[in-house]
Homo-oligomer: A and B are copies of this chain.
């Protein structure tokens, strides 16, 4: 059956599989100290325009968020996030398990607003009792957000400016970073984004890898003994080159961006198709996730012919569903959908 269920339903890009196969019988040192990890880090630093950045590979998004956030917050601090942010809702309390509160702020279309953030920080430090409260110690953003939306360069600059003023790091969750940067509406390059964040991660799992995310500490401020901190949280892979090989491949000949752009092209075709057929959009998403409002009956009928995700109830009669493209979505898939709609 046709599937637009999510961007992690197929394996790895064929070039990645090939690299894994080719290196399979080499004897490599463990825990990320191998040549592939080394090479991948070099290429990522170059792509980010941050020659001094420190890069670390982890397995998945929740793990990455927990390890990075816990390693950067001080004991009395929490992390600010949009109420709809992944760390707020869909990580089973992984951040709280590390002992830190997620300080949830109201969001708009998945985005944290600079004015809301500023007001929150201002009020916190004005409150005479703030020593009895959790200190804001970091700002967490998703790019794209959980609703497929994007911060503009200007919005990101404003938020980064506030973080700077309050001396708290800005952390950007790039689980779908490629699909954000390659959006037709993105007005940011990877080096620009890297310049605004203290730390962010380049998502692999949802952009062509089997698993793996690349954490980038842009200002050489990776927490001391980060390897040990990752190990403690069960996040250090013995055969660490599995990540190195994948990211080495993704950052060779712009593969990461090329396949991200293909997914965006497919998403735009999808969008045009839904418009053409008169479907209602829940919101305007410029990335690979499209949120459509379906009547119950229409949804039930469609479910028999194509896979998509239930997102949330809208009202008694309507449901928000998600259609996602990925690096592996083909034009034929979109053509197939056209026949169904």
A residues 205-260 in Cβ contact with B at 8 Å? 205-206, 210-211, 223-225, 227-229, 231-239, 242
The chain B residue sitting closest to A100, CB to CB, is B96
Q: Given contacts A90-B133, A128-B310, are A239 and B11 in contact (CB under 8 A)? A: yes
Instruction: Flag whether A104 is at the interface (Cβ < 8 A).
Output: yes
Q: How far, in angstroms, from A132 to B239 measured CA to CA in the complex?
A: 15
Smallest beta-carbon distance A275→chain B, Å: 25
B94 adjacent to A97 (CB under 8 Å): no
Q: What are 18 A-to-B residue pairs whose CB atoms are below 8 Å?
A: A8-B238, A10-B24, A11-B24, A12-B24, A59-B234, A63-B235, A66-B233, A91-B132, A92-B134, A92-B228, A93-B99, A94-B234, A97-B232, A99-B99, A126-B313, A131-B231, A205-B239, A211-B239
Does more than half of chain A's interface fall in helix, strand or loop, or is it mixed? loop
Complex interface: chain B residues within 8 A of A125 (CB): none
Instruction: Flag whether A191 is at the interface (Cβ < 8 A).
Output: no
Complex interface: chain B residues within 8 A of A185 (CB): none
The chain B residue sitting closest to A328, CB to CB, is B25
A residues 1-47 in Cβ contact with B at 8 Å? 1, 3, 5-6, 8-12, 14, 17, 20-21, 23-30
Size bracket of the A interface: 35 or more
Q: How far, in angstroms, from A97 to B196 measured CA to CA in the complex?
A: 30
B238 adjacent to A206 (CB under 8 Å): yes
Smallest beta-carbon distance A313→chain B, Å: 8
Q: How far, in angstroms, from A310 to B123 measured CA to CA in the complex?
A: 13
Instruction: Flag whether A89 is at the interface (Cβ < 8 A).
Output: yes
Smallest beta-carbon distance A303→chain B, Å: 13
Complex interface: chain B residues within 8 A of A14 (CB): 24
Instruction: Flag whether A318 is at the interface (Cβ < 8 A).
Output: no
Complex interface: chain B residues within 8 A of A211 (CB): 237-239, 242
